[in-house]
Amino acid sequence: MNAIEVKELYKSYDGVHAVNGITFEIGYGELFGFLGPNGAGKTTTINILCTLLKPTAGQAFIAGLDVSRESDKIREHIGLVFQETTLDNELTTFENLLFHAYLYGMGRHDAVKRIDDLLSMIGLQSKKNELVKHLSGGMKRRLELIRGLLHKPRVLFLDEPTIGLDPQTRANVWGFIKEMKRAEGTTIFVTTHYIEEASDFDRIAIIDHGRIVAVGNPNKLINEMGRATVTFGATDGATVQTLIGHGMIESGSGEYQIKTEDPDLFLKQILNLSGLKINEFKIKKPVLEELYLSLTGSEIRDEYVDRPRKIRGHNR
């Protein structure tokens, strides 16, 4: 059994599919990322999985529980950190956490110990009795992470957990998230549009216009779908053009560039050309951002637009 299973899930508004027949699964203990532009369906999906929205069609299960029929039981097993801050600014750090613990039926003794342990782990012990309204944005974000983990959920949902944070705070937040995953085996489902953050996730799904266009380990997806950029200098451009044919870009100063799925094979081919002298050779392997842009386009979209796309990965 997987921690999360989604099968042909749809969510429609006035005939427009915000989520358009997606299928994927997440194993226990995975750090799984949902990447996509604004309006792609990320938050809608996470709201369905957290039982905040009802799907139009399809099925979704959390720890084997049906999100449409067993919402109360599911809420006992999940934690959720929203995009927007939902802390009570007029309560202290400790009071916010204790109130949350009581909502989940934790006894005071166990709750206080858990709160102290988590505050120490994330570096907020000195702010235990501070009013939340006096905390910085980064501190509030870390506090919300603690709150989501307080009751030891089997699955933690993080909707854009580091949005608006400075790079150092983002790094600290991710360090804590990964430590909790390692220490407690928590399954973590993240939505994000910070592509660099997803590079070392266990697996990702790229979603666009409500559909999953790729799913898998980031490095494997890059290797399977991306092409390396080869740049080299040569003394005989005519010979190079004869071999390469279409796709070659020439700078006009004896430098050439081409994209290829097998740069090692390409190197062997040009080195075997008679009379060709190579004076420089560089290989730039594809990165996750290039794969992402190739699948979703470079345009930043703020609203959902219903438009069919070619589907890759599981969702065919």
What CA–CA distance (Å, rounded) separates 216 from 205? 7
- Region label for 279, one of left (φ > 0), alpha (ψ between -120 and 50) or beta (otherwise): alpha
Q: What is the mean pLDDT of residues 248-273?
A: 77
Residue 160 · residue 191 · CB < 8 Å = yes
Least confident interval from 105-109, 123-127, 243-247, 270-274: 243-247
Between these two residues, 293 and 125, which has the higher pLDDT value?
125
Question: In the chain, where are the structural domains located?
Answer: 4-217, 227-285
Q: Is the pLDDT of residue 54 over 90?
A: yes
Q: Is the pLDDT of residue 10 over 80?
A: yes
Q: What is the mean pLDDT of residues 196-221?
A: 92
Average pLDDT of the chain to the nearest whole number? 86
Site of tokens 């599919």: 17
Q: Assign 155 a pLDDT band (cuts: 50, 70, 90).
A: very high
What CA–CA distance (Å, rounded) separates 32 from 53? 21
Q: Give pLDDT, residue 308.
A: 34
Q: What is the mean pLDDT of residues 238-261?
A: 71
- Give me 179's structure tokens: 């430590």
- Give me 89's structure tokens: 């600014």
Q: Is the pLDDT of residue 191 over 50?
A: yes
Q: What is the 3-state secondary structure (H, E, C) of 247-294?
A: CCEECCCCEEEEEECCHHHHHHHHHCCCCCCEEEEEEECCCHHHHHHH
Query: Domain spanning 4-217 has what CATH number?
Result: 3.40.50.300
Q: Give pLDDT, residue 246.
A: 53
Q: Give pLDDT, residue 243.
A: 61
The order of strands in the sheet holding 78-81 is 78-81, 155-159, 187-192, 31-35, 203-208, 211-216
Q: Give pLDDT, residue 314.
A: 39
Least confident interval from 17-31, 155-169, 294-308: 294-308
Least confident interval from 47-56, 151-160, 237-246: 237-246
- Residue closest to 33 by CA, chosen among 203, 269, 241, 288: 203
Q: Give pLDDT, residue 242.
A: 66
Q: What percent of the chain stands above pLDDT 90? A: 52
Q: Give pLDDT, residue 197.
A: 86
